[in-house]
Amino acid sequence: MMHGFKAVLLLLSLCPMARAASAQSEPAAKMAPVAIHIDTAAVTHTMASGAGASWHAIGPEAYWYPDLTDRENRNSRGSGWGGNPPLSYTDAWKDLEREASWLGLDFVRVEIDMRMYEPERGKFDWNNDQMKTLYRILDWCQANHVDVFFTQMWADVEWNQYEGVGRLQSAPKSVDDFAQGMATLMEHLVKQKGYTCIRWLCMVNEPGGSWGWWLGPDGKSISLMPAIHALRTALDKRGLSEIGLSGPDWAMSLKSPDFDFNDKAVGAWDSHNYSNDPNATLQKLWAEKAHARGIPFFLSEFGDSAGGSVFTVRDDPSPKSYPNQLMNAEKLIDGMNVGTDGFNRWSFTNRGDLDGQWQLVRTFDRNTWDYTKRVEPEPVPYYTYGIITRFMAKHSSVLKSECSSPEVAVAALRSPKGNLTIYVLNKSEADERVELNLAHLKAGETLYKYQVTGGVVNNPHFAMNPLAHYEIVPGSAATTDTVPGESITVYTTYKLMNADPGIIAE
């Protein structure tokens, strides 16, 4: 994730004309209740995973790169490094694991670089602090049945760089050595360490563009396909055929450079979205084309660019602001409805002083420029993302839903064990009266209501407990409620108190 990438995505984003038109609707239309229809018997798609956040294992050491292309040293690696507490901060790590459990993260993009494990050709280091940090992250993922989307962000090794191209951004000079190194790592992690939670593997972050991390000898982006073929072969020889290779890990466009979406070595598609629009049309296009091949599509990195949200609360234009969290929620809700298989938010841990404050939890004090001995939530993004992830079990089925207002976004999920979760995002400033209709219920259900607004998530004493409950029986009349302006409301059969962990797997 980086500033140049966000600029590319802003050019690719769709113009939100429907929202602009709806803002000009007559006030009288606001008086009619918003009709929400959920067909509990109609499954539109079953997700291959769930929703989570990036959790990188790359350590805090800063490097000076004298030969960067279209990047600055301060954020040359984005903020994909240095976000975790030191390993000796035992209480902080307990906090970190507790917060990940509270959020119910079940699709986690675990991020590394090649320097961590193979700093020299053929010489592997499995016991340095960065690798121990990786093990700690994967230990939590394995114990909690999390799906890991494992990503090597960049190589950053001198031994395999092209001459004249900096080691951070260079594609591998020797594709075979690159593939053997990554396959050796995967064999170590899966076969020796037992991390069967690793489901998908992405070999490089954002390879497109002159600012990216996959540049050829002429300093321009080159094709991923030779390395994907070599890596697929190396993994299969080690008995790791169950790990799917994903790509292109780039902008939300099917014109990613020199990438063959139909190649059988590609086992998943993934894309990033930092635009100020949910890009539902593009998510749908990616998902349908991936599903036609029988593989999943993931939104493997997403956030919202500072200052550009269509939502009206603008007290803080940073990525952690409440308006940006509402846009993130819209990307999730729309994405579920069009078939996206998993969502990964940037990011769980993040120093917050490199390329924006993207963090869900606070591990680093930007004033003292030091790690904190304890970890606590970054409340606005933590609660506005958590109200979605806490009630989403991985592998849930998306139910057919309809809503009479373009100002209200709705998605409904049924978990593998039959739990129902309905998300209602009110995008308008005004309160909305809603009528919730559930068709084809087989039995009565109790729905518990949870809600966040810009006011409550800034309250240091906020606790995400049920606000009300509704008894729903088959054939009953619509359940009515009022949802505040610019709010996220969840109606679910899960009854979770604030002290409970979120739902990950069933």
Report yes or no on 453 lying in a domain.
yes
Give the pLDDT confidence score for residue 251 in this predicted structure: 84
CATH code, domain with 95: 3.20.20.80
Q: How many domains does the chain have?
A: 2
Residues 195 and 323 in one domain: yes
In this structure, are 57 and 122 located in the same domain? yes
Q: Residue 415's domain is classified under what CATH number? A: 2.60.40.1180
Same domain, 403 and 376: no
Would you state the pLDDT for residue 29? 45
Residues of the chain with pLDDT under 70: 1-30, 256-257, 305-317
- Assess if residue 3 is contained within a domain: no
In a domain, 18, yes or no: no
Verify that 37 and 136 share a domain, yes or no. no
Whose tokens are 């790590």? That residue is 93
The verdict on 284 and 415 lying in the same domain is: no
- The pLDDT, as a whole number, for residue 11 is 32
pLDDT digits (tens, 9 = 90+) for 353-385: 999 999 999 999 999 999 999 999 999 999 999
Range of the domain at 183: 49-389
Specify whether 282 is located in the same domain as 365: yes
User: Residue 313: what pLDDT?
Assistant: 40
What's residue 145's pLDDT? Answer: 98
Tell me the two tokens of residue 162: 């092209």
Residues 33 and 59 in one domain: no
Place of tokens 């409340």: 379
User: pTM for the whole thing?
Assistant: 0.93
Q: Which of 369, 389, 409 is the last residue of a domain?
A: 389
Q: Report which DSSP code applies to 59.
A: -
- Do 425 and 284 fall within a single domain? no
User: For 160, which DSSP code?
Assistant: G
15-34 burial code (b ≥16 CB/10 A, e <16)? eeeeeeeeeeeeeeeeeebb
Q: Tell me, yes or no, whether 13 lies in a domain.
A: no
Q: State residue 476's pLDDT score.
A: 87
Closest alpha carbon to 407 in 425, 388, 433: 425
pLDDT in tens, 44-95: 999 999 999 999 999 999 999 999 999 999 889 999 999 999 999 999 999 9
For residues 346 and 460, membership in a common domain is answered with no
